[in-house]
A and B are shown apart, each in its own frame.
Chain A
Amino acid sequence: MDVALIQRIAPFILEAALKTMQLAAASLAIGLAAAVALVAARMSRQAIWRGLSAAYVSVIRGTPLLVQLFLVFFGGPQLGLNLTPFQAGAITMGLNIGAYMSVGLHGAIIAVEHGQYEAARSLGFGRLDTMRLFILPQAAPLMLRTLGVNTVILTKGTALASTIGVVELTYSAQRFVTSTYKPFEVFAAAGIAYLIIILAIMLGIRGLESLFGTAERGRV
Chain B
Amino acid sequence: MTSAAPMIRLRGIRKSYGSHEVLKGIDLDVDQGRIVSIIGPSGSGKSTLLRSVNMLEEISHGEIWLDGVQVNSALTGRAFETHINRIRQQMGMVFQQFNLFPHLTALENVSIAPMKLKGKSKAEAEALARTLLEKVGLADKGGAYPARLSGGQKQRVAIARALAMQPKAMLFDEATSALDPELVDEVNLVMKQLAAEQMTMIIVTHEMRFAAEVSDHVLFMDGGVVVEQGPPEQVLKAPTQERTRGFLRKHLAQ
Q: Which of B100, B102, B147, B162 has the most CB of A within 10 A?
A: B102
Find chain B residues with CB under 8 A from A129 CB: 116
Given A115-B95, A125-B85, A216 and B102 contact (CB-CB distance below 8 Å): yes
Find chain B residues with CB under 8 A from A217 CB: 102-103, 105, 145, 147
Find chain A residues with CB under 8 A from B148 CB: 218
Name which of A65-73, A132-140, A163-171 contacts chain B. A132-140
Minimal beta-carbon separation of A158 from chain B (angstroms): 35
Minimal beta-carbon separation of A144 from chain B (angstroms): 14
Minimal beta-carbon separation of A141 from chain B (angstroms): 10
Given A119-B99, A125-B85, A218 and B56 contact (CB-CB distance below 8 Å): no
Contact B86 A218 (CB under 8 A): no
Find chain A residues with CB under 8 A from B146 CB: 216, 218
Q: Which of A21-56 contact B (CB under 8 A)?
A: none
Find chain B residues with CB under 8 A from A124 CB: 85-90, 113, 117, 165
Contact B97 A115 (CB under 8 A): yes
Find chain A residues with CB under 8 A from B113 CB: 123-125
**Interface flags, A99-136, vs B, CB<8A=1, else 0:** 00000000000000101101111111111010001100
Cα distance A85–B116 when bound, in Å? 48
Find chain A residues with CB under 8 A from B100 CB: 119
Residue count of chain A within 8 Å CB distance of chain B: 23
Q: Which residue of B lies closest to A112 (CB)?
A: B102
**Interface flags, B99-142, vs A, CB<8A=1, else 0:** 11111010000001100110000000000000000000000000
Q: Is B207 an interface residue (CB 8 A)?
A: no
Q: Is B69 an interface residue (CB 8 A)?
A: no
Contact A215 B112 (CB under 8 A): no
Find chain B residues with CB under 8 A from A137 CB: 103
Find chain A residues with CB under 8 A from B88 CB: 121-124
Q: Is B161 an interface residue (CB 8 A)?
A: yes
Minimal beta-carbon separation of B140 from chain A (angstroms): 15
Q: Is B81 an interface residue (CB 8 A)?
A: yes
Contact B102 A215 (CB under 8 A): yes
Q: Is A8 an interface residue (CB 8 A)?
A: no
Q: Is B225 an interface residue (CB 8 A)?
A: no
Q: Is B211 an interface residue (CB 8 A)?
A: no
Contact A218 B147 (CB under 8 A): yes
Contact A126 B81 (CB under 8 A): yes
Cα distance A217–B148 when bound, in Å? 9
Cα distance A219–B147 when bound, in Å? 6
Find chain A residues with CB under 8 A from B89 CB: 123-124
Contact B81 A216 (CB under 8 A): no
Minimal beta-carbon separation of A177 from chain B (angstroms): 52
Minimal beta-carbon separation of A117 from chain B (angstroms): 9
Find chain A residues with CB under 8 A from B201 CB: none
Contact A134 B116 (CB under 8 A): no
Find chain B residues with CB under 8 A from A215 CB: 102-103
Closest 4 CB pairs of A and B: A218-B145, A124-B89, A119-B99, A115-B99
Query: What is the interface of chain A, defined by CB distance below 8 A to chain B?
Result: 113, 115-116, 118-127, 129, 133-134, 137-138, 215-219
Apart from A119-B95, A134-B103, A216-B145: 6 A-B pairs, beta carbons within 8 A: A118-B95, A122-B91, A125-B85, A125-B113, A127-B81, A218-B145
Query: What is the interface of chain B, defined by CB distance below 8 A to chain A?
Result: 54, 56, 81-82, 85-93, 95, 97, 99-103, 105, 112-113, 116-117, 144-148, 158, 161-162, 165
